[in-house]
C-alpha cells in the first residue's frame, strides 16, 4: 500500500545507539524516511549511521540526554539548524532499574521516572512546538511497554513510568489533535536487548516467561517493524491517543489454569 511509504519524511528517534531504537531507525529508513538519531554518546551511533546511509537515507546524529531540559533544548536547536522538518518522533530513550520494591532508592526512582516519563514529555513538547505545530502535521510514537497495563514484581518505578507514558499519550493526543498531530503509544512486550540481557541468561526464567506468553516466545527482531511503520505513516491517520500492544499476548494476563501435560 503506497501510503505506508515514508519517502520525504524526517524521523527523530531518541536512543538510537542500540537495542530497539537502532532497529526503529533502520525500519523507518527502510520505509523511506531520513533519520535524526540521538544518544548521550554520539560516537555510539556510528554503526547505525552506516546502516541507514547504506540504504541511501540521511542520518544526522545529535547528542541528547533526556534527563536534562537544557540538553533537550540544545538538541532541538541543533536539529532546527540542520532541518526544517521533523514529521515523525519516536520517543524511545529509556532505562530500567530491577530491584525488589523495598530496595528501590530515591535516586533509582528519579532516574527511571525522569528518563522514561519526564524525558518523553519534554522531548515531545519541544519537537511539537518547534516543528510539528507550525507544520500542522506530526506523528508522535511514545514507546510504552506491556508494563503500561500490567504490574511486575521488581519493576515498580519502571511500571509507574510506563503507565504514565500511556496516560501522557492520551493527554497529548487531545492537546495536539487540532494541529494535525497524532500521538500513540507503541507498547512492546518482552524483547531481549542490552537493558534486560542478564534476564535472558537464565534459561529457567526464559522458559517461565515463554510459558506465560500466549504465542510462546519473547519478542524477536522484526516483530515491531510493521506496527511502527503503521503508526508513522498515513495509514494511522484516524488513530490517536491509543496504546498498541505488541507482546505475544502476555498482557492478557495469561496464567495457566490447568496442569501442564
Ligand X SMILES: NC(=O)c1ccc[n+]([C@@H]2O[C@H](COP(=O)([O-])OP(=O)(O)OC[C@H]3O[C@@H](n4cnc5c(N)ncnc54)[C@H](OP(=O)(O)O)[C@@H]3O)[C@@H](O)[C@H]2O)c1
CB of 119 to ligand X, least distance (A): 6
Catalytic residue among 158, 200, 208, 238: 158
Site residues for ligand X, window 187-206 (CB under 6 A)? 188, 190-191, 193-196
Among 10, 27, 39, 169, binds ligand X (CB under 6 A): 39
Cα 82–chain centre separation: 23
Q: Is 149 among the residues that bind ligand X (CB under 6 A)?
A: no
Q: Is 93 among the residues that bind ligand X (CB under 6 A)?
A: yes
Task: Rank residues 51 and 137 by Cβ distance to ligand X and give the closer one.
Answer: 51
Based on the residue annotation, tell me whether 158 is a catalytic residue of this protein.
yes
Task: Rank residues 63 and 135 by Cβ distance to ligand X and give the closer one.
Answer: 63
Q: Which region, judged by CB under 6 A, interacts with ligand X, from 53-61, 86-94, 123-131, 166-174?
A: 86-94
| Interstrand relation of 10-13 and 138-143 (parallel, antiparallel or unpaired) | unpaired
Give the three cell numbers for residue 161.
513510568
Nearest C-alpha neighbor of 27 from the set 49, 52, 59: 52
Binding mask 126-145 for ligand X (x = CB under 6 A): -----------------x-x
**Judging by beta carbons within 10 Å of its beta carbon (0-12, 13-18, 19+), is residue 114 exposed, middle or buried?**
middle
Q: Is 18 among the residues that bind ligand X (CB under 6 A)?
A: yes
Q: Is the dihedral of CA 186, 171, 119, 61 positive or negative?
A: positive
Q: Is 233 among the residues that bind ligand X (CB under 6 A)?
A: no
Q: Is 115 among the residues that bind ligand X (CB under 6 A)?
A: yes
Q: Which region, judged by CB under 6 A, interacts with ligand X, from 63-71, 174-182, 201-209, 252-260?
A: 63-71
Maximum CA extent, the chain: 62
Local structure of 57: helix, strand or coil:
coil
Q: Is 148 among the residues that bind ligand X (CB under 6 A)?
A: no
* Total of residues contacting ligand X (CB under 6 A): 29
CB of 114 to ligand X, least distance (A): 8
User: Are 141 and 89 in contact, with CB atoms under 8 Å apart?
Assistant: yes
Burial annotation 204-228 (CB, 10 A radius, 16+ → b, else e):
eebeebeebbeeeebbeeebbbebb
Question: How many Cα neighbours within 13 Å face the side chain of 171?
Answer: 10
- Compute the 3-state secondary structure of the chain and give helix, strand, coil in percent, each to the nearest 5: 50, 15, 35
CB of 192 to ligand X, least distance (A): 7
Q: Is the dihedral of CA 85, 90, 95, 100 positive or negative?
A: positive
CB of 219 to ligand X, least distance (A): 6
CB of 261 to ligand X, least distance (A): 29
Q: Which residues are catalytic?
A: 158
The residues of the shown chain that bind ligand X, judged by CB under 6 A, are 15-21, 39-41, 44, 64-67, 92-95, 115, 143, 145, 188, 190-191, 193-196
Amino acid at each position: 500500500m503506497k501510503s505506508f511509504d515514508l519517502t520525504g519524511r524526517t524521523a527523530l528517534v531518541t536512543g538510537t545507539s542500540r537495542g530497539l531504537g537502532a532497529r526503529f531507525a533502520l525500519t523507518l529508513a527502510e520505509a523511506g524516511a531520513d533519520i535524526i538519531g540521538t544518544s548521550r554518546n554520539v560516537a555510539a551511533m556510528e554503526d547505525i549511521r552506516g546502516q541507514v546511509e547504506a540504504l541511501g537515507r540521511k542520518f544526522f546524529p545529535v547528542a541528547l540526554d533526556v534527563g536534562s531540559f537544557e540538553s533537550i533544548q540544545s538538541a532541538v536547536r541543533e536539529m532546527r539548524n540542520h532541518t526544517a522538518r521533523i514529521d515523525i518522533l519516536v520517543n524511545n530513550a529509556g532505562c530500567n532499574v530491577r530491584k525488589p520494591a523495598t530496595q528501590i532508592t530515591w535516586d533509582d526512582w528519579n532516574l527511571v521516572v525522569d528518563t522514561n516519563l519526564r524525558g518523553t514529555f519534554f522531548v515531545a513538547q519541544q519537537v511539537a512546538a518547534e516543528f510539528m505545530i507550525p507544520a500542522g502535521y506530526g506523528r508522535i510514537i511514545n514507546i510504552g511497554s506491556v508494563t503500561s497495563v500490567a504490574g511486575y514484581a521488581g519493576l515498580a518505578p519502571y511500571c509507574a513510568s510506563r503507565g504514565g507514558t500511556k496516560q501522557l499519550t492520551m493527554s497529548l493526543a487531545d492537546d495536539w489533535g487540532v494541529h494535525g498531530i497524532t500521538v500513540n503509544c507503541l507498547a512492546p512486550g518482552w524483547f531481549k536487548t542490552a537493558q534486560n540481557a542478564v534476564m535472558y541468561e537464565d534459561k529457567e526464567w526464559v522458559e517461565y516467561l515463554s510459558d506465560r506468553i500466549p504465542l510462546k516466545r519473547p519478542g524477536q527482531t522484526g516483530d515491531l517493524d510493521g506496527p511502527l511503520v503503521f503508526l508513522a505513516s498515513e495509514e494511522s491517520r484516524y488513530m490517536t491517543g491509543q496504546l498498541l500492544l505488541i507482546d505475544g499476548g502476555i498482557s492478557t494476563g495469561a496464567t495457566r489454569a490447568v496442569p501442564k501435560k
